[in-house]
Structure 1
Amino acid sequence: MSVLPLIFTSGWASGINAYAVVLLFGVFGATGLTDEVPEALQRPDVLIAAGVLFLCEAVADKIPYVDSLWDSVHTVIRPVAGAVVGALLAGQSGSVPELAAGAVGGSTALVSHLVKAGTRMAINTSPEPFSNVIMSTTEDLGVAGIITFAIFHPVGAAVVAGTLLVLGTVTALFLVSRIRAFLRRRAQRRAERRAGQAVGPPV
C-alpha cells in the first residue's frame, strides 16, 4: 500500500508541531507498533532532541505573542521537517519517490504552518491569555491523535487532515480579514483625533 496518505498527514501535523511528529513516530517505531517508521527517527539522540524541543514549544506556544515569535522562527523549520519526515517515510516503504514525498510533506507543512501562524496572530488580539492556552493544547492533542490514527488508518487520517487543512485555511483567512478591518478602523480613528488636535479648540 502507498505511504502517501501517511506522508500527507505527517506534513499537516509537522506544520503545527514538527517536534511532536518526530517524537511520536520515533516512539511508535521504537516500541514496535509499526514498521513504517525509518530507523533514523528511532535513534535515541533524535528522540531526546525532539522531546526537549517539544517541551520548549509546549511552553512558548501558550504565551501570547511569544507564540507568534516562535511561529516566525519555525516558518522554515516546520516545512523542512515535514519534507524530511516525508522523504524518510518514502524511503522506508519504497512505494513513493523520496523527492516527491518530500515535496508533499514540505508543502503541506508550509500551508498548515501558515494557517496556524495566522490564527495565532488573530487570537493574540484577544485581551485574555486563556485562548492561547486552549488553542495550543487543542493543537497538541490534535497532532497526537491524528498521528496515532494515521499509524493504523493512514487513509482515514489523511481525509481528516485534508478537511482540517481546508477548514483552517478558511478560518485563518476570515480572521486575518477581520484583523485588517479592525486595524484600518483604529488607524482611521487615530487620524481623525490627530486632525482634531491639529485644528485646535474653537476661538
Structure 2
Amino acid sequence: MDWAWPSSLQQTVSGLDAMHLLALAAVLGWASGLRLYLVVFLTGLAGAMGWIHLPPGLQVLQHPGVLGLAGFLVLVEFFADKVPWVDSAWDAVHTFIRIPAGAALAAGALGADAGVWTFMAALMGGGLAATAHAAKATTRAAVNASPEPFSNIGLSLLGDATVPVMLWLAWSHPFAFFIALALALVVMVALTVLLFKFVRGLVGRLRQHFGASPVRA
C-alpha cells in the first residue's frame, strides 16, 4: 500500500496547500453534523461567486440546482430547528443523512486521485460529523425538557452562527481552525457524556407515562 502523500496534497490544488485541504475536509465533516444544508449552500455559493476556488471533488456544489435545493433546505432547517421537539425529530431523521454526507464532503475535498487518503478523509469527516451530530441532538433533547423556548432558540442561533465562522476560519486560518476544532470536540464529547444519562432517563419517563395512560375507546 502506498502511504506517500498524493500529488493533490504535495502540491497546491485550486490554490490550496495540504494544510488548507485538510482543514477544509475537517470543517466540512464537522459542520455537516450541525448544519449540513448550510454547509453545502455556503461552500457552493463561495465557489460560484468566485470567492474561493473549490477542489474538483467539491465543484458540483456550485451547480445552480444544488444551490437552489440546498438553499431551500437551509430555510426549512432554520425554522424546524427553532421549534422544541420538532428539532429533535429533525435530528433523529438526519442521523442517517448528516454522517454519510459529512464523510462524502470531506472525501471530496481531497479528490478521488488521493487514493487511500480520500478514504481516510471520509473516515475523519464521518467521525467528526457523528461527534457534532451526537452533541447537538443530545443537548437539544435535554434543553427541550425545559418549558421555556428561549434556550432552544438561543442554541439554534448559536449553531447558525458557528458554522459560517468555522468555515471561514478553516479557509483563512487553518492552524487557528484546528485549535478551535479541538476545543469544540472536547466540549461536545463532554456534553454528550454528561447529558446522555439525563436524556435516557427523560425518554424512559416519557415511555412510562404514555405506556401507563389508559386507552380510550
TM-score (normalised: structure 1):
0.84
Match of 2:54 among 25, 36, 50: 36
Go from structure 1 to structure 2 and tell me whether the alpha carbon gap of 1:30 and 1:95 turns closer, same or farther (over 3 Å shift).
farther
2:122 to 102, 116, 137: 102
Query: How far apart are the structure 2 equivalents of 1:103 and 1:182?
Result: 32
Percent of aligned pairs with the same amino acid:
40
Whole-angstrom distance in 2 between the partners of 1:76 and 1:182: 23
Distance, in Å, in 2 between the alignment partners of 1:113 and 1:128 is 23
Over the aligned positions, Cα root-mean-square deviation in angstroms equals 2.4
- Extract unaligned runs of 5+ from structure 1: 191-203
Based on CA coordinates, which of the two structures has the bigger radius of gyration?
1
**1:26 counterpart = 2:39:** no
Farther off after superposition, 85-94 or 64-73: 85-94
Q: Following the alignment from structure 2 to structure 1, what is the Cα–Cα distance between the partners of residues 51 and 99?
A: 26
> For residue 157 of structure 1, what is the amino acid of its counterpart?
F
SS at match of 2:129: helix
| Alignment partners' CA distance in 1, 2:149 and 2:86 | 12
**SS in structure 1 opposite 2:111?**
helix
- Compute the displacement of 1:14 (Å): 0.5
For 1:107, the aligned partner's letter is G
For 1:61, the equivalent position in structure 2 comes to 81
Q: Does 1:138 align with 2:158?
A: yes
The letter for the 1-side match of 2:190 is V
1:2-39, CA deviations, whole angstroms, 9 ceiling, x for partnerless residues? 21222112211100011111111111111222223432
Gapped runs of 5+ residues in structure 2? Answer: 1-16, 210-217
CA separation of 1:9 and 1:183: change in aligned 2, threshold 3 A: closer
Q: Counterparts of 1:57 and 1:181 in 2: how far apart (Å)?
A: 27
Equivalent-residue separation in structure 2 for 1:90 and 1:157 (angstroms): 18
SS in 2 for 1:97: helix
Q: Using the alignment, how far apart are the partners of 2:170 and 2:69 within structure 1?
A: 23
Q: CA deviation at 1:164?
A: 0.7
Higher relative contact order (Cα pairs below 8 Å, separated by 6+ residues): 1
Decide whether the 8 Å contact of 1:82 with 1:106 is kept in 2: yes
- Structure 2 vs 1, CA of residues 182 and 110 (structure 1 numbering), >3 Å: closer, same or farther? closer
Number of residue pairs matched by the alignment: 188
Q: Distance in 2 between the 1:179 and 1:59 partners?
A: 23
Query: Which amino acid is 1:105 matched to?
Result: G
Is contact 1:36–1:92 with CA below 8 Å preserved after alignment? no
TM-score, reference length from structure 2: 0.78
